[in-house]
Structure 1
Amino acid sequence: MSTIVSFKNVQKTYDGETLVVKNLNLDIEEGEFLTMLGPSGSGKTTCLMMLAGFETATHGEILLQGKPINRIPPERRNIGMVFQSYALFPHKSVAENLAFPLKVRKIARDEIARKVKRALAMVNMEKFANRMPAQLSGGQQQRIAVARALVFEPALVLMDEPLGALDKQLREQMQYEIKQIHEQSGLTVVYVTHDQGEALTMSDRIAVFNNGIIQQLASPSALYEKPENAFVARFIGESNELKGIVSAVDRERCTVDLDGGHRVRASAGSAIRKTGSASISLRPERIAVGESAHACDNVFSGGVKDLIYYGDHLRVVMQVCGRNDFIVKLPNDGAVRQLRIGDSVDIGWMAEACRALQ
């Protein structure tokens, strides 16, 4: 697999003082689906806009297929772009919207017709070629926006929060469809979102941004199972955080003494090499309750403060280890239906289920 995009020591500032992007070094592989994920103001969208050519890097170099593109205008970069706002021409039909980028490139008329038909087929919209954008639903308009980004067969497709305006069910359907298009076409996709679930569902790799820096670059499973710092643990999925002092380190495990006298055995994150302050990240679904807790490395007594019904699972808010907002997720079966607010129950988790981070 070859590298299609490289950011080399890229920085961006708007005011000459504050760096929105700080010394970014990132290689994107040909054919992969890479997501830039992070909160508002983290630098992810700025990186995408610099790659697209709508923003200029203050320092450093961006390479596309091995060639510097910093000074190449957006229309000459051969990059497809999909926005949240669809950005379709309201006065042009669906077919005319798709033909526009081909006409700009002076493609022959019969070739335009062939490419437009092929792009519509990729998004299952062949029957809508003569419709106007106003005659389409939000999901249909987004399919056309995706087709327009693919129609001229670009080297790279960039997507900036493309599903943000859709409702939950349609958004999930479009996630699946975009991923299918990516897998079938072999395109390279760079996707920007602040939605963790979207990133985990669609991506080959995820770059988690905060304060203009990539905090971690890894596969979805690696980010979820082995976050490298507390920010990534908090931002990817849901996590209980317990703070304490590392009192012992034994290869890949460590012992953390929590405030209040409790002690936890945990897997040691990459930064845990010696004693010192640390936070423990523990996913709510990795916690056992009742008799099954007694076989775990870490066993505590907890008080049930609230029970929230989610259909397929029960969210239990507990008082544990001095925390009043400790979350446990349990599958909705007969055992959990016996829990009541005010109950005192044993809970536990294995050392491998929690991760000590610095």
Structure 2
Amino acid sequence: MSQTTDHAPGSAYVLFENVQKSYDGETLVVKDLNLSIAKGEFLTMLGPSGSGKTTCLMMLAGFESATHGNIVLNGERIDNVPPHKRGIGMVFQNYALFPHMSVAENLAFPLSVRNRPKSEIEEKVKRALNMVELPHLGDRMPAQLSGGQQQRVAVARALVFEPDLVLMDEPLGALDKNLREQMQYEIRHIHDQLGVTVVYVTHDQSEALTMSDRIAVFDDGVIQQLAPPSELYEHPKNAFVAAFIGENNTLKGTVESLDGETCDVRLEDGSVLKAQAVNVAAEGDRTTISLRPERVAVEPENGEYPNNFEAEVQELIYLGDHIRTRVKVCGNKEFIIKVPNAQRNKRMQAGETMRVGWAMEDCHALNAS
């Protein structure tokens, strides 16, 4: 499966052309990758462990070489350019700060090795510390900083020499939830201010949705879908993407009739629903129906939705702003509905039955998984 892109090669700042990678000469961990990244874009490579995303980042950085194909940066092939001459900033999960150097010395290091004048180094270190809101900590040693502060220093060090491209490999993985969310916004704001091109690797779907201009969803060495966050979430192209991006209800069935972009699907319990025909080709095809929990309405008006079924409440979990409701519907006991707290219905009690409904547009008939 070869992955095409939606940027013309001529406009690409970073370009992977038919790139393959094998470590043993037999198994491909990256398969025929064609990916174009525009200048100034924030692109995230998202996927489970072993999907090939980090390998792609390491090939772009120069720490791994491609088995086949070309990698182009700003119009120039970089296959034979060593990492330190590619002019790329890097941020790693473990920060990789020099423990024997102060914060300011860590930031000065990339400038020193590029033989920048001392006055320029001092000015850029000061500016970088201000950018990550740590102007008073230049004399501290890394061990004297919190995890969040160390990560800010790592980001500042990657940006201090003003690279056009910054690569980030799971940079927030070691932080607690609140700090990780705060750093997501800070990195995004820095990107917006500087206009630098960022290629970001994570397995955290919410992180990818929060930060990215586009997301490349990897599985088994192949980009399964490449799109902006909202398109990935609202219009997944296959069952893997639907399941990996956000919470998702699935129902198994067979295409009973197909009419252009819509279809009728008979589920395993005999129910028939109407769906968008996204990744099915013909009547008789097996399919996985994908439906987001927040798209399901409780006790809809008669005729409001073409898909309207009786559901038996299995479990209710109070989550403050919404009630996470697990029901049995169409034979699926693990069907989740997110009901806003203000819309909680009196019939929402374990063991009770109620009607649920959803629009055909929110219901996607995908490949059988």
CA deviations 1:280-328 (Å, max 9, x no partner) are 1000000011144751110010111111111111111111111111111
Q: Please say if 1:60 is aligned against 2:69.
A: yes
Deviates more, 1:37-46 or 1:329-338: 329-338
Q: Secondary structure at the match of 2:133?
A: coil
Instruction: Letter of the 1:66 partner, please give it.
Output: G
Deviates more, 1:116-125 or 1:138-147: 116-125
Q: Which runs of no fewer than 5 residues in structure 1 stay unpaired?
A: none
2:181 aligned residue (172, 185, 204): 172
1:24 aligned residue (30, 33, 40): 33
2:59 aligned residue (35, 38, 50): 50
1:272 aligned residue (280, 287, 296): 280
1:286 aligned residue (295, 303, 314): 295
Instruction: Letter of the 1:274 partner, please give it.
Output: A
2:360 maps to which residue? 351
1:71 maps to which residue? 80
Q: Please say if 1:323 is aligned against 2:313.
A: no
Q: Please say if 1:157 is aligned against 2:166.
A: yes
In the alignment, the residues of structure 2 paired with residue 277 and residue 264 of structure 1 have an alpha-carbon distance, to the nearest angstrom, of: 14
Q: Please say if 1:192 is aligned against 2:201.
A: yes
In the alignment, the residues of structure 2 paired with residue 337 and residue 133 of structure 1 have an alpha-carbon distance, to the nearest angstrom, of: 55
CA deviations 1:240-295 (Å, max 9, x no partner) are 111111122222211111112100101121x3342211111000000011144751
Could you say if the C-alpha distance between residues 245 and 147 of structure 1 is closer, same or farther in structure 2, counting changes exceeding 3 Å? same
CA deviations 1:134-167 (Å, max 9, x no partner) are 1111101000000000001112000000000000
Deviates more, 1:230-239 or 1:311-320: 311-320
In the alignment, the residues of structure 2 paired with residue 337 and residue 103 of structure 1 have an alpha-carbon distance, to the nearest angstrom, of: 68
Q: Secondary structure at the match of 1:17?
A: coil
Two-structure CA RMSD over aligned residues (Å): 1.2
Deviates more, 1:319-328 or 1:286-295: 286-295
Contact 1:290 1:347 in 2 (8 A): yes
TM-score by length of 1: 0.97
2:142 aligned residue (117, 124, 133): 133
In the alignment, the residues of structure 1 paired with residue 64 and residue 109 of structure 2 have an alpha-carbon distance, to the nearest angstrom, of: 23
Contact 1:12 1:58 in 2 (8 A): yes
Instruction: Letter of the 1:264 partner, please give it.
Output: L
In the alignment, the residues of structure 2 paired with residue 289 and residue 132 of structure 1 have an alpha-carbon distance, to the nearest angstrom, of: 56
CA deviations 1:12-52 (Å, max 9, x no partner) are 11111110000100000000100000000000000000000
In the alignment, the residues of structure 2 paired with residue 222 and residue 317 of structure 1 have an alpha-carbon distance, to the nearest angstrom, of: 26
Q: Which runs of no fewer than 5 residues in structure 2 stay unpaired?
A: 1-6
In the alignment, the residues of structure 2 paired with residue 93 and residue 75 of structure 1 have an alpha-carbon distance, to the nearest angstrom, of: 22
Identity %: 64
1:219 maps to which residue? 228
In the alignment, the residues of structure 2 paired with residue 306 and residue 20 of structure 1 have an alpha-carbon distance, to the nearest angstrom, of: 41
1:115 aligned residue (111, 120, 124): 124
Contact 2:111 2:121 in 1 (8 A): yes
TM-score by length of 2: 0.95
In the alignment, the residues of structure 1 paired with residue 300 and residue 251 of structure 2 have an alpha-carbon distance, to the nearest angstrom, of: 23
Q: Secondary structure at the match of 2:94?
A: coil
Q: Number of paired residues?
A: 357
In the alignment, the residues of structure 1 paired with residue 240 and residue 97 of structure 2 have an alpha-carbon distance, to the nearest angstrom, of: 37
CA deviations 1:61-100 (Å, max 9, x no partner) are 1000011111111100000000010011111111000000
Stretches of 4+ aligned residues off by more than 3 angstroms: 291-294
Q: Please say if 1:252 is aligned against 2:261.
A: yes
Q: Please say if 1:296 is aligned against 2:296.
A: no
